[in-house]
Chain A
């Protein structure tokens, strides 16, 4: 373990670490809280819940989002649900089982202590959400309802039809707006973080572009939280919203925050397939559909008949066949890979890149009404996009980039390698290892924001001497100038290719060479292609308009430039990690199509350090992972 990568995992047994740590952390008295300020970047579940909770404690909070309203953050689009170890179903769930499932689901590449804490606070999240008015689904007796999700044999997923993310986000958003009303949180919308300001080795502020006026603003604080989401849009086509970007995290990375496990990306098995060249994004069909939908592919190779023309005997319910104990609820990485195999071997639905997700049997068993009550909005969304009625014919689905487990490296306190820079939600790497289980992203975002950061940030303030600074400090002036120079450069190239065309080309390279399957030759080729693409981007991009006022293309140019640099790092990380684990599948390392880990050589987190320029190869550091509770084993869902 390098000196800088001290995970600061507290001592004691796994179930008392967090409790003890909470007691051992120092507090800030109420009168002193008013003197401390925190900047929060991003207002999704992690950012909004952190801003609200810190505001309630009495800190001065500034919250920034790229959207016109915090309620539009991409957490809003999460469909299926949120896990919590409530055991309301009396089906054998417990904090320990959620912890166990998550460590195993992550293919033994997550930190045990973090995961256990996540499982512990999961129960508080549901209480908090309900108290703040989130209308989660209920049974006729008035108690909360649960559904099942992949990678688990208990029903622990709470939900609000297919709009769980929306409802939880609106809950966190309303809590934050209450603090805005009370004056503890200042809200800045249509603002993008374009740099982190580090003074005396500590994160002390940010450089922000006002997306309406184009002005560059400087904001100082005692601590900065980056909760800016994941980087799936590096693939161009993903289920992420259009503005989702790595930019805030990447700027922090370039200022000294290590970037961990960038190659751990989640390809979600059930998305609506690509329809054409002009497609701008992919749409997820919630994993919850696999509760009642059965996944199959034509058993005969090259069978192009429509689903209803294929008799039962000629259908291959491959998840049920290969994984009899988990069946259609096999975890995402496993289910995606199996879909890929079917298509690669010529068993695609209608002869195309897709498999079927079929509700015929559930409609027969439950009736159309019951199915509509559970998944109505998803069926409607499917019909709007494809023009096909999924009550009458099966959905066609195919895997698509959806979530990124990698992110900025953080210790147990969610603090990065830059003191005072904390990272929450999908933007950090902490809890999901090499594969995230369904309904765990909402859980992690809210755990970080509601229940972890309020404690660990107070501890940071109580233990750290922070000089008073203002934005007239040279570090701010320097960062603001650099930011303005970068923007001017994009505008002055006046080349011949649109930003979009570069993004598409990058996405194509990433999907082909660093997507569902990766190998040495492909990754090596991808790295050199991406390096060339980066050079061409900076010498041939065409960004119309000017720096003042709204300029969407200029915003996109900055984001794509960062994605290009990240793409290279992802390939490099995937190249060095000569094993398969979770969503990272190296074709050279497999047993019968299943991932083959190498615990001797790779039971560690890889954290990359920026070396001052995109032309210099980044330095790889390692944090060893130890498994004292869940013993390292080959992950099996058979």
Chain B
């Protein structure tokens, strides 16, 4: 397959930063004889092998499945989250989209809620804390009724699924000028709001998850839609509209908290 295709040469300007406390900066590298069939990360692997042979530290980036589903990888290529191709994580980006002689600038996600750990790797644990604050349905193992007891209209199930395909990569935050996590948070809120199983905790979930999102230091939604445009899974802006509606409804209908009395 493709054995005869011409290879290309690229210049890379890569953000290098030793750790969270150190000052970072760009360093230039050559990527030579790159096969157009290689993935972007395989191109970086080859650059790293050369660095190791020269006794230098390889460029660090998060990655794992290399199939676009685990959400580990992600950095800016020439200012675009995950690079120039739509609906594509950087591990699924292939070198055939680049031209010989191009210069590529690689930078980590920039957001104060995503501190840089090293080179292109950032700490996205804020996302886990948002899920922990309410991105679940409280059902213990062993309590479930037969799965077909509650029919779910196919359009609802399909739409819930579309929201649930978010891989938590952080491209939405990185491409938002406010570094907002609205798309990520809203996708989980919409996923569960659409399902009958998610109804009991629906209002509280919206309140808790948005509160956690703010507490993590993510900015407000910029309403520009840059997040959805950069999303490798095409999570729609409708999720954010849903979140705003859910939050409004939950806030208005929130019951006063009662204290004391009654229980004996």
Question: B65: which A residues are within 8 A, CB to CB?
Answer: 72, 74, 76-77, 241-242
User: Is A135 in contact with B195, judged by CB distance below 8 angstroms?
Assistant: yes
Known pairs A133-B197, A138-B154; A552 contacts B147 (CB<8 A): no
Known pairs A69-B168, A163-B165, A352-B1; A128 contacts B70 (CB<8 A): no
| Separation of A278 and B142 alpha carbons in the complex (Å) | 47
Q: Which residues from 150 to 165 on chain B have a C-beta closer than 8 Å to any C-beta of chain A?
A: 150-154, 157-158, 160-161, 164-165
Question: B146: which A residues are within 8 A, CB to CB?
Answer: 127
Task: Tell whether B69 is near chain A: CB-to-CB under 8 Å.
Answer: yes
User: Is B117 in contact with A181, judged by CB distance below 8 angstroms?
Assistant: no
Question: B62: which A residues are within 8 A, CB to CB?
Answer: 68
Question: A161: which B residues are within 8 A, CB to CB?
Answer: 161
User: Is B136 in contact with A76, judged by CB distance below 8 angstroms?
Assistant: no
User: Is B52 in contact with A544, judged by CB distance below 8 angstroms?
Assistant: yes
Task: Tell whether A177 is near chain B: CB-to-CB under 8 Å.
Answer: yes
Query: Which one of B2, B135, B167 lies within 8 Å of A275 (CB-CB)?
Result: B2
User: Is A67 in contact with B64, judged by CB distance below 8 angstroms?
Assistant: yes
Query: Which one of A275, A278, A550 lies within 8 Å of B60 (CB-CB)?
Result: A550
Task: Tell whether B92 is near chain A: CB-to-CB under 8 Å.
Answer: yes
Query: Which one of A69, A128, A243 lies within 8 Å of B124 (CB-CB)?
Result: A69
User: Is B1 in contact with A131, judged by CB distance below 8 angstroms?
Assistant: no
Question: A131: which B residues are within 8 A, CB to CB?
Answer: 137, 139, 143-145, 147, 197
User: Is A69 in contact with B136, judged by CB distance below 8 angstroms?
Assistant: no
Task: Tell whether A130 is near chain B: CB-to-CB under 8 Å.
Answer: yes
Known pairs A160-B161, A177-B135, A181-B133; A166 contacts B140 (CB<8 A): no
User: Is B160 in contact with A140, judged by CB distance below 8 angstroms?
Assistant: no
Question: B195: which A residues are within 8 A, CB to CB?
Answer: 133, 135
Considering only CB atoms, which chain A residue lies closest to B121 in the complex?
A550
Of the listed residues A52, A138, A279, the one surrounded by the most CB atoms of chain B closer than 10 A to its CB is A138
Task: Tell whether B19 is near chain A: CB-to-CB under 8 Å.
Answer: yes
Task: Tell whether B127 is near chain A: CB-to-CB under 8 Å.
Answer: yes
| Separation of A273 and B148 alpha carbons in the complex (Å) | 39
User: Is A242 in contact with B64, judged by CB distance below 8 angstroms?
Assistant: yes
Task: Tell whether B39 is near chain A: CB-to-CB under 8 Å.
Answer: yes
User: Is A178 in contact with B52, judged by CB distance below 8 angstroms?
Assistant: no
Task: Tell whether B108 is near chain A: CB-to-CB under 8 Å.
Answer: no
User: Is B141 in contact with A241, judged by CB distance below 8 angstroms?
Assistant: no
Q: Which residues from 125 to 170 on chain A have a C-beta closer than 8 Å to any C-beta of chain B?
A: 126-133, 135-144, 160-161, 163, 165-167, 170
Chain B nearest CB from A493 CB (Å) reads 13
Task: Tell whether B229 is near chain A: CB-to-CB under 8 Å.
Answer: no
Interface 9-mer from A315-323, A338-346, A380-388: A380-388
User: Is A142 in contact with B124, judged by CB distance below 8 angstroms?
Assistant: no
Query: Which one of A72, A170, A350 lies within 8 Å of B72 (CB-CB)?
Result: A72
Of the listed residues B46, B123, B164, the one surrounded by the most CB atoms of chain A closer than 10 A to its CB is B164
Task: Tell whether B228 is near chain A: CB-to-CB under 8 Å.
Answer: no
Question: A387: which B residues are within 8 A, CB to CB?
Answer: 37, 94, 96
Task: Tell whether A189 is near chain B: CB-to-CB under 8 Å.
Answer: yes
| Separation of A380 and B35 alpha carbons in the complex (Å) | 21
Of the listed residues A49, A72, A180, A450, the one surrounded by the most CB atoms of chain B closer than 10 A to its CB is A72
User: Is A544 in contact with B55, judged by CB distance below 8 angstroms?
Assistant: yes
Task: Tell whether B100 is near chain A: CB-to-CB under 8 Å.
Answer: no
Question: A165: which B residues are within 8 A, CB to CB?
Answer: 69
Chain A nearest CB from B56 CB (Å) reads 7
Task: Tell whether A124 is near chain B: CB-to-CB under 8 Å.
Answer: yes
Question: B84: which A residues are within 8 A, CB to CB?
Answer: none
Q: Mark B55-90, 1 if CB is under 8 A from A, else 0.
A: 111101011111111111000000000000101100
| Separation of A385 and B49 alpha carbons in the complex (Å) | 22
User: Is A170 in contact with B132, judged by CB distance below 8 angstroms?
Assistant: no
Question: B157: which A residues are within 8 A, CB to CB?
Answer: 135-138, 142
Question: B35: which A residues are within 8 A, CB to CB?
Answer: 275-276, 278
Known pairs A138-B152, A139-B154, A167-B161; A241 contacts B66 (CB<8 A): yes
Task: Tell whether B192 is near chain A: CB-to-CB under 8 Å.
Answer: yes
User: Is B58 in contact with A544, judged by CB distance below 8 angstroms?
Assistant: yes
Of the listed residues B52, B135, B160, the one surrounded by the most CB atoms of chain A closer than 10 A to its CB is B52
Task: Tell whether A498 is near chain B: CB-to-CB under 8 Å.
Answer: yes
User: Is A280 in contact with B39, judged by CB distance below 8 angstroms?
Assistant: yes
Task: Tell whether B216 is near chain A: CB-to-CB under 8 Å.
Answer: no
| Separation of A163 and B191 alpha carbons in the complex (Å) | 15
User: Is A126 in contact with B147, judged by CB distance below 8 angstroms?
Assistant: yes
Question: A627: which B residues are within 8 A, CB to CB?
Answer: none
Chain B nearest CB from A285 CB (Å) reads 11
Q: Which residues from 51 to 79 on chain A have a C-beta closer than 8 Å to any C-beta of chain B?
A: 52-53, 56, 67-74, 76-77
User: Is A242 in contact with B53, judged by CB distance below 8 angstroms?
Assistant: no
Question: A76: which B residues are within 8 A, CB to CB?
Answer: 65, 69-71
Task: Tell whether A549 is near chain B: CB-to-CB under 8 Å.
Answer: yes
Q: Mark A285-314, 1 if CB is under 8 A from B, else 0.
A: 000000000000000000000000000000
Task: Tell whether B251 is near chain A: CB-to-CB under 8 Å.
Answer: no
Considering only CB atoms, which chain B residue lies closest to A138 in the complex?
B157
Ordered by A's residue number, 28 sampled pairs between the chains whose C-beta atoms are within 8 Å are A68-B72, A77-B65, A127-B147, A130-B150, A132-B137, A133-B192, A133-B198, A135-B158, A135-B161, A135-B195, A138-B154, A142-B151, A143-B148, A166-B69, A174-B131, A175-B141, A177-B136, A178-B132, A275-B1, A279-B42, A280-B41, A385-B92, A396-B1, A451-B141, A454-B141, A498-B52, A500-B45, A550-B121
17 additional A-B pairs beyond A73-B70, A380-B87, beta carbons within 8 Å, are A71-B71, A77-B69, A86-B147, A132-B136, A133-B137, A133-B191, A144-B147, A173-B131, A241-B65, A242-B65, A276-B38, A280-B45, A384-B93, A385-B92, A386-B1, A387-B96, A550-B121
The 8 closest A-B pairs by CB, nearest first: A142-B151, A127-B144, A174-B136, A131-B144, A135-B161, A130-B147, A53-B141, A178-B136
